[in-house]
Amino acid sequence: MITLTSVSKTFDGGRTFVVHDLSLHVHRGELLVILGESGSGKTTIIRMINRLAEPTHGRIFIDGIDISSANPVQLRRSIGYVFQGIGLFPHLTVGENIGAVPKLLGWNKARIASRVNKLMEQVGLAPHQFRDRKPRELSGGQQQRIGVARALAAEPQVMLMDEPFGALDPITRATLQDEFQKLQRANRLTVILVTHDMTEALMLADRIAVMRRGKIVAVGTPHELLTQPKDEYVSLLMKTPLRQAENLRNIASGGGSDA
């Protein structure tokens, strides 16, 4: 579904590379987590997939199409994008925020309204109660739910997520992670999620790509990386016990929609 071939990115004319000769394939319907410390190049990868940054070298394909040949604006409208800052439009209502991209795509009002209501129900916010509120009237967890709903609004096949739950408290974060995983599986979304949180990676990922200094040093399922770490760096990252992830999920299962 998403393929990066020998992709490199430099911002200083080649003196240093933020991403260096990176190749990666993400399968259709897969949730792949890119895991690594700050400055390892994680966010730069998804910015290149969304063409917010252009590769210095290499090629990126989505569904077999070289994205360098695509219209950048149309490409971005076809990809769901969720990030930690959420970025809701403060002057628009919740419903208008969710329906922003479908409106740009020319959907009619009835189709937009139906899609908004369906997504609000899927993220656990009653449309009649929250649709006409402004973002400032919502909690942080509720705003993040709206951010996810907005990213899903135009029925994308691909979602890019950059530390989407990082600013939330642990219980709210675990609740939203669990709910998003159910949405991802139900809609067979192809997702790349960037994080430095090992627990989040273990809870969500079908596979994890571990990055260090602009390169991928290991790719595998959580079980593979936990039981067969490729090197000492990967082994150190995997020290977070799987029990912590499971405990958070169990606690979150009792959470409410006001998160």
User: Does residue 187 sit within a domain?
Assistant: yes
Winning range, highest mean pLDDT, from 80-89, 131-140, 228-237: 131-140
**Of the candidates 156, 187, 208, which is a domain's last residue?**
156
Give residue 70's pLDDT: 93
- Residue 259: pLDDT over 60: no
Are 164 and 251 in a shared domain? yes
- Which pLDDT value is given to residue 141? 87
Q: Domain boundary at 111, 134, 156, which? A: 156
pLDDT of residue 33 exceeding 60, the answer is yes
Work out the pLDDT band at 240, boundaries 50, 70, 90: low
> Is pLDDT at 256 greater than 50 in this prediction?
no
Q: Tell me: pLDDT of 230 over 90.
A: no
Of 7-16, 30-39, 172-181, 235-244, the least confident: 235-244
pLDDT of residue 196: 85
**Which residues constitute the domain of residue 121?**
88-156
Q: How far is CA 240 from the centre of its chain?
A: 22
Q: Do residues 152 and 246 share a domain?
A: no
109 shares a domain with 64: no
Whether residue 249 has pLDDT greater than 70: no
For the chain, the domain total comes to 2
Q: In a 3-state reduction of DSSP, which class is residue 199?
A: helix
- 73 with 195, same domain? yes
Q: Are residues 162 and 256 in the same domain?
A: yes
- For position 57, which CATH number holds? 3.40.50.300
Instruction: Check residue 246 and give its pLDDT.
Output: 52
Note whether 190 and 253 are same-domain residues.
yes
Domain end, chosen from 108, 125, 156, is at: 156
pLDDT of residue 85: 64
Residues 151 and 168 occupy one common structural domain? no
Model confidence at 103: pLDDT above 60: yes
Average pLDDT over residues 201-207: 91
| Beta carbons of 8 and 19 less than 8 angstroms apart | yes
Instruction: Give the separation between CA 159 and CA 29, rounded to whole angstroms.
Output: 10
What pLDDT, on a 0 to 100 scale, did the predictor assign at position 110? 97
Query: Two tokens at 227?
Result: 């039981």
In a domain, 7, yes or no: yes
With cut-offs at 50, 70 and 90, classify the pLDDT of residue 197.
Answer: confident
pLDDT of residue 243: 47
Average of pLDDT values for 160-182?
Answer: 84
Of 74-78, 166-170, 221-225, give the lowest mean pLDDT range.
Answer: 166-170
Q: Are residues 38 and 133 in the same domain?
A: no
Tell me, yes or no, whether 83 lies in a domain.
no
- Point out which residues pair with 159 in neighbouring strands: 80, 191
**How far is residue 39's CA from residue 194's CA, in Å, rounded to a whole number?**
12
Asked whether residue 44 is domain-assigned, the answer is yes
Q: Which residue has the higher pLDDT, 241 or 158?
A: 158
Q: How many CA atoms within 13 Å lie on the side-chain side of 211?
A: 30
Q: Are residues 165 and 230 in the same domain?
A: yes
In terms of domains, do 241 and 175 share one?
A: yes
Single out the residue of 84, 202, 98, 112 nearest to residue 151, CA to CA: 98
Per-residue pLDDT reduced to its tens digit, 51-91: 999 999 999 999 999 999 999 999 999 999 987 766 889 99
Q: Do the domain assignments include residue 207?
A: yes
User: Does residue 243 share a domain with residue 175?
Assistant: yes
Judgement on whether residues 107 and 207 belong to the same structural domain of the protein: no
Cα–Cα distance between 189 and 160 in angstroms, integer? 10
In a domain, 236, yes or no: yes
Q: What's the average model confidence in pLDDT over 90-110?
A: 95
